Chain A
Amino acid sequence: MDATDKPRLHRRGPLEYVAWAVCVLVAGGLAHTLVTNENYQWDVVGQYFTAPTILEGLRLTIVLTILAMLFGGILGMVVAVMRASTVRPVQLLASGYITFFRGTPVLVQLIFWFNIAALYPNIAVGIPFTGISQAVDVNALMSATTAAIIGLSLNEAAYLAEIIRGGFASVDKGQIEAADSLGMSARKKLFRVIIPQAMPTVVPATGNQMIGMFKETSLVSVLGVAELLQSTQLIYARTYQTIPLLIVACLWYLIMTLALSYPQSLIEKRYSLVKSRVSSEAAVDPVPLGGEAR
């Protein structure tokens, strides 16, 4: 073989062989027990995998995820804009919100919203000083599903607000100065200059949050909302086939997160390209190598 065509081979350290050995052992052991341990009851898994109750639960999980991300996103944007405000009380309100919702467990928040009627049994919706008002029974209003959507959305809003704030911070200060010097209003500046440039940072992170939210919805099972996990629990409470049904739930969660990961990776790739272009705009022209420029 011609020496100019010979490939360059690299040494493999002993650690790599050890790692392969461990990998094969673990995989083999796992496969062995999955097949031989009858307690997994794979036939039951197969039987319930596409059962109507499970699919209905899956549907609700998807709906909860979408609604929580939608409302959380809208509110998160509002909170992030408030957080970036130069008006101190507005800023404090936003950081207070973020601190509270990020500082307490979602599970506790969910149970709290479900029981909010204990705190405010009736709320009156009306126009102040006119005497026109309509009392609303909070207990009737706050169904488990409503509490779930409110709880997940409010919590997610706090996290998304921080992500969006990070996006705002990634926009070069010169961009804001350029907009200011043209006399742009705060609103135009936000929607035409800041938000479009914050997107490359915000969108991929939001995708990750969505994948997280998909699994987080399982928490609302404690409120009795018949989402994916609760649906499996309803079945195994009856049949005592706990393990196979939990496997059904796990498989669905896994399938859905994998399905979401693919568009997520595409989004990340696309936006990292946009970001590199944007940042190359802010950068100084590269100085040509060598002295030929002079």
Chain B
Amino acid sequence: MNGDGTVYARGLRKCYGDRVVLGSIDLDVKCGEIVCVIGPSGSGKSTLLRCIDGLEEADRGILRVNGEDLGFVETETAYRARNRKEVAMQRTRIGMVFQQFNLFPNMTARENVMAGPVLVKGVAKKTAALRADSLLADVGLSGHGDHYPWQLSGGQKQRVAIARALAMDPNVMLFDEPTSALDPERVGEVLAVMKGLAERGMTMLVATHEMGFAKEVADTVMFMDGGVVVEQGPPTEVLGNPKEPRTQKFLEKVL
């Protein structure tokens, strides 16, 4: 498995009809860097992460994840779509955690975590099950392997979802508002798992409204509004001493 763990973008643009959702985004995420993307709803945070996971396609611009152009190959005049197998391979190296968990309801927690390795990588079921149990233990859910998603709380589901993404050994992890759908008292347990992951050197892009988490864990905070990056820098600067009036206004409201 090749490493890398970087995300690089230049002039990434996307429109829905007339509405600009991403207006020329530049990104330089180093290996092991934790980037928290903050901003109001509809600012393009989710769309940016979804583009990086290949769930949505940018209209124009350069997007390299793990050092490779995502989903396309650059030629003289255009970006040509890669074949499905190559795209799938690229995606296995990017982990995505969704706001609504999106666990497979027809599978137990263990089977959810095993799904990627077994169905995509062809790992033997026994090996995958052992690995799944150890991943579930890592996120504090040992003994929950046989539970179906409907038997788990929101925080537990989200931790299973994190384990499911980690089972593919990704080099980059994307979190799309991972705690926004949780009861307030369940937020902490998910953030704790993410913090542990950050400490182990995983490259992470996190769209979030949890300013405390951003302040404590992020190397870089990006403030997005209207599809553009308004301000970015270390949390002490962006959160502690924002220069842009739009950032100041947003932080006044959420803090």
Contacts and interface: CB of A to CB of B under 8 A. Distances in A.
A277 B150 contact: yes
Interface stretch (A110-118, A172-180, A248-256): A172-180
Interface stretch (A146-154, A215-223, A281-289): A281-289
B105 A281 contact: yes
B116 A182 contact: yes
Interface in B170-213: 181-186
Interface in B24-42: none
Interface residues of B, number: 40
A238 interface: no
Given A188-B119, A277-B148, A180 B104 contact: no
Interface size class of A (residues with CB under 8 A): 20 to 34
B15 interface: no
A85 interface: no
A192 B114 CA distance: 12
A4 interface: no
A211 interface: no
Interface string B156-171: 0100000011001000
**Do most interface residues of chain A lie in helix, strand or loop, or is the interface mixed?**
helix
Given A181-B53, A182-B91, A184-B88, A282 B181 contact: no
Contacts of B184: 293-294
B183 A185 contact: no
Given A183-B92, A277-B150, A280-B150, A293 B105 contact: no
Interface in A57-88: none
A183 B150 contact: no
Given A193-B104, A280-B150, A182 B182 contact: no
A155 interface: no
Contacts, number: 95
A180 B181 contact: no
A197 interface: yes
B84 A181 contact: no
Given A285-B181, A288-B183, A293-B184, A180 B91 contact: yes
Interface stretch (B4-12, B72-80, B95-103): B95-103
B254 interface: no
B65 interface: no
B221 interface: no
Given A284-B154, A287-B183, A294-B184, A184 B120 contact: yes
Interface string A161-176: 0000000000010110
A181 B55 contact: yes
A263 interface: no
B248 interface: no
Interface string B41-63: 00000000000011100000000
Given A188-B120, A196-B106, A177 B181 contact: no
A22 interface: no
A108 interface: no
Contact of A178 (B102, B106, B150, B186): B102
B98 A177 contact: yes
Nearest to B183: A285
Interface string A258-270: 0000000000000
Given A182-B120, A184-B119, A281-B149, A177 B55 contact: yes
Given A182-B168, A183-B92, A197-B105, A285 B182 contact: yes
Interface of B: 53-55, 84, 87-92, 94-96, 98, 100-106, 115-116, 119-120, 148-150, 153-154, 157, 164-165, 168, 181-186
Ranked 4 nearest A-B pairs via Cβ: A183-B88, A285-B154, A178-B102, A174-B102
20 contacts: A174-B102, A177-B102, A180-B54, A181-B54, A181-B95, A182-B116, A183-B91, A183-B92, A183-B168, A184-B115, A184-B116, A188-B120, A197-B105, A197-B106, A280-B150, A281-B101, A282-B100, A285-B186, A287-B183, A293-B185
